[in-house]
């Protein structure tokens, strides 16, 4: 840890963007308030830390992790009707044999692609947070990710690497991949997805820092539009010591890039 004094991320002031926006010298939370991370639907509620020694820390997780639209299964008939209309708009006959069940199949597929809207962080973590005096970096890398570009409603996919520096609490390893599922299975932009994952890990274990790197391939840039089939988009969010200490960040990036 390079002798750097470690401070758990338990309040909103300790969460800052890796680089402030050049035009808006703003803290990360202001950024959030501007709507970058909002999913409409639920009020923002401050929460008090339950970590011993941090009981007085209140941290406002503006990120809405618990967005729950009306029961989504109930949307199936209307979505199916929309897909039927879409087939007609394409000049297809939605009543031909091969397409008869397509509207419903497509609606179910879309519900699956966006199933993250039905998941909350608390449900997914399922109390798999363990007290542990481990203060070395934990990295889970190359987590497969499939998401949907919110601009074109076509997929983007890739891999996510997450690192965090525990501060008396560790998270069940699979939960990092489950956090990726919560946020990737929504309509997204890659930048927001990266930030949301980092905030969720912060919320789950209040670590000294979190790092998230995503390498994504956007089908909207491959199958259409600019048609660059080999381009990859890399985004990162660095919080706490990963943001403040270049050596910690470098250690993470080395681990991520090692074979
Ligand atoms: N920053 C960011 N942009 C994205 C993401 N996914 C898609 N886009 C971009 O969203 C932009 C939408 O641009 P528009 O000009 O409104 O739409 P368009 O005419 O379909 O753009 P082209 O893709 O350039 O053909 C495009 O530049 C996409 O590449 C993402 O995750 N992050
Ligand atoms: Zn797109």
Q: Are residues 155 and 207 both part of a single domain? A: yes
- Kindly give the number of the ligand 1 atom that is closest to the alpha carbon of 189: 31
Count the domains in the chain.
2
Residue 137 near residue 196 (C-beta atoms within 8 A): no
- Confidence (pLDDT) at 63: 55
Same domain? For 173 and 242 the reply is yes
Please indicate, yes or no, whether residues 74 and 190 belong to a single structural domain of this protein. Answer: no
**Are residues 251 and 136 located together in one domain of the fold?**
yes
Task: Locate the ligand 1 atom nearest the alpha carbon of residue 220 and give its number.
Answer: 23
For 223-250, the pLDDT digits (tens) are 999 999 999 999 999 999 999 999 999 9
Please list the pLDDT of the chain residue by residue as tens digits (259 residues).
444 556 787 755 545 443 443 332 323 333 333 333 334 333 334 444 444 444 443 333 445 555 555 578 889 999 999 999 999 999 999 999 999 999 999 999 999 999 999 999 999 999 999 999 989 999 999 999 999 999 999 999 999 999 999 999 999 999 999 999 999 999 999 999 999 999 999 999 999 999 999 999 999 999 999 999 999 999 999 999 999 999 999 999 999 999 8
What was the pLDDT predicted at 62?
47
**Residue 11, pLDDT score:** 55
Nearest CA to ligand 1 atom 9: 151
Residue 13 lies in a domain: no
Ligand 1 binding pocket, CB closer than 6 Å: 149, 151, 189-191, 218, 220-221, 225-226
**Same domain assignment for residues 91 and 144:** no
For residue 188, the ligand 1 atom closest to its alpha carbon is: 31
Residue 2 within a domain:
no
100 and 158, same domain (yes or no): no
Same domain, residue pair 80 and 109: yes
- Compute the CA torsion angle 39, 116, 137, 208 (nearest 10 deg): 30
Q: Do residues 181 and 76 share a domain?
A: no
- pTM assigned to the model: 0.80
Taking CA atoms only, the protein residue closest to ligand 1 atom 5 is 189
**54 occurs within a structural domain:** no
For residue 154, how far is its CA from the centre of ligand 2 (angstroms)?
Answer: 6
Q: Which residue numbers are catalytic?
A: 149-152, 190, 218, 220
User: Do 90 and 193 share a domain, yes or no?
Assistant: no
Is this prediction's ipTM beyond 0.85? yes
What pLDDT does 67 receive? 55
pLDDT value at residue 211? 98
Max Cα separation, the chain?
69
Give CA torsion, residues 34, 13, 66, 81, to 10 deg.
20
Task: Give the Å distance between the CA of 149 and the centre of ligand 1.
Answer: 9
Where in the sequence is the domain holding 75, given as residue range(s)?
70-117
CATH number for the domain harbouring residue 83: 1.10.286.10
> Both tokens of residue 84?
């039927």
Pocket test for ligand 1, best of 37, 187, 197, 220 (most atoms within 8 A of CB): 220
Confidence at residue 69, expressed as pLDDT on a 0 to 100 scale: 56
Assigned domain for 223 exists: yes
Both 77 and 163 in a single domain?
no
- Calculate how far, in angstroms, residue 151's C-alpha sits from the geometric centre of ligand 1: 6
151 shares a domain with 91: no
User: SS3 for 80?
Assistant: helix
> 219 and 109, same structural domain?
no
């Amino acid at each position: 840890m390079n002798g750097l004094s470690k401070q758990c991320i338990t309040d909103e002031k300790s969460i800052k963007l890796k680089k402030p926006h050049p035009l808006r010298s703003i803290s990360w939370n202001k950024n959030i308030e501007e709507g970058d991370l909002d999913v409409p639907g639920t009020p923002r509620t401050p929460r008090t830390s339950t970590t011993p020694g941090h009981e007085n820390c209140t941290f406002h997780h503006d990120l809405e992790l618990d967005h729950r639209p009306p029961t989504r299964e109930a949307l199936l008939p209307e979505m199916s009707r929309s897909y039927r209309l879409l087939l007609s708009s394409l000049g297809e006959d939605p009543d031909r044999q091969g397409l008869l069940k397509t509207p419903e199949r497509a609606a179910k597929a879309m519900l699956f692609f966006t199933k993250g809207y039905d998941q909350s962080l608390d449900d997914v973590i399922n109390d798999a947070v363990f007290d542990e005096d481990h203060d070395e970096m934990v990295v889970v890398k190359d987590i497969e990710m499939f998401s949907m570009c919110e601009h074109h409603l076509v997929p983007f996919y890739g891999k996510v690497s997450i690192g965090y520096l525990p501060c008396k609490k560790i998270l069940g390893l699979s939960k990092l991949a489950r956090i990726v599922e919560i946020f990737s299975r929504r309509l997204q932009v890659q930048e927001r997805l990266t930030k949301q994952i980092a905030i969720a890990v912060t919320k789950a274990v209040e670590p000294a820092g979190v790092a998230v790197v995503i390498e994504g391939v956007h089908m909207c840039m491959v199958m259409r539009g600019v048609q660059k089939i080999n381009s990859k988009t890399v985004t990162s969010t660095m919080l706490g010591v990963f943001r403040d200490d270049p050596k910690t960040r470098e250690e993470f990036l080395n681990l991520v890039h090692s074979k």
